Amino acid sequence: MDNGWEISAQAWVDSIGERGDWGREHVLDPVILGRITGRSFKRALDVGCGEGRFCRMLKEAGIAATGIDPTPLLELARRRDPSGDYRPGRAEQLDFEDRTFDLVVSYITLVDIPDFRSAIREMARVLKPGGALLVANLTGFTSAGAEQGWVKDADGKRLHFPVDRYLEEFPFWFEWSGIRIENWHRPLSAYMAAFLEAGLTLTFFAEPAPISGEPSSQETFRRVPWFVVMEWEKPAAA
Ligand SMILES: C[S@@+](CC[C@H](N)C(=O)[O-])C[C@H]1O[C@@H](n2cnc3c(N)ncnc32)[C@H](O)[C@@H]1O
């Protein structure tokens, strides 16, 4: 499987650091941590944990965390947190019993996962009834336009972010900061349908704006927000 992670692993670690990249630090972490703080989660699965930053944050919040990932990033997670629980695995076929975790996290991984429908079914399966699936993902309009990015009009004045083929599902190569990985575009409706078909109930939805960071980056982000955050609950009777 060449999805770019073999050669992009070190550039990814360099870009993410301990505080996260710009989007994580200024946009996503505040929302995601807000969904976790003060609740009584005990055992979490971080699907596509990468080099383990969010597992380390879960541990710090007092939640036992297991991270799974299919790429060499997992070895980096183990090195950074030798006492942590990091296992090789793919979201499409999770190697855990039904109803194991009260929190499952997918922190910008659905765009990476080729068979996202199986992955969502699996995340729902391993959740305990009453448990929460917390998801951060790229918005559909950014994944539809990310390969090309911002462009200028012919007169060179107006910047805009073209969106095309929105209702299709397709892979694309995404490049930034020395990282080059394969991601997937799907419309928001495709993801929503998969969560609903997995029997989950939506309890939180946000297209978060930055709360900090350089004003010019904040302004650009507000013009075309990159992220959606959702929390889905597995009904208690399931
Ligand atoms: C954009 S990175 C996010 C990493 C981490 N969650 C974070 O926020 O720092 C996407 C992650 O998804 C992982 N991934 C790719 N395909 C996957 C699959 N089929 N199942 C689970 N994880 C996968 C990649 O290895 C990578 O670690």
Counting atoms of ligand 1 from 1, which one is nearest the CA of 69? 22
How much is the pLDDT for 5?
Answer: 78
- Residue 238 reports pLDDT greater than 80: no
What is the tens place of the pLDDT at every residue in 133-146? 999 999 999 999 98
Cα-to-centroid distance, 129 and ligand 1 (Å): 25
- Residue 1 reports pLDDT greater than 70: no
Q: Whose CA is nearest to atom 9 of ligand 1?
A: 50
For the question of whether the overall pTM of this predicted structure is more than 0.85, the answer is yes
Q: Is 136 in the pocket of ligand 1 (CB under 6 A)?
A: no
SS (H, E, C) the chain: CCCCHHHHHHHHHHHHCCCCCHHHHHHHHHHHHHHHCCCCCCEEEEECCCCCHHHHHHHHCCCEEEEEECCCHHHHHHHHCCCCEEEECECCECCCCCCCEEEEEEECCHHHCCCHHHHHHHHHHHEEEEEEEEEEEECHHHHHHCCCCCEECCCCCCEECCCCCCCCCEEEEEEECCEEEEEEECCHHHHHHHHHHCCCEEEEEECCCCCCCCHHHHHHHHHCCCEEEEEEECCCCC
Confidence of residue 11 (pLDDT cuts 50, 70, 90): confident
Cα-to-centroid distance, 107 and ligand 1 (Å): 8
Cα-to-centroid distance, 111 and ligand 1 (Å): 9
Cα-to-centroid distance, 237 and ligand 1 (Å): 30
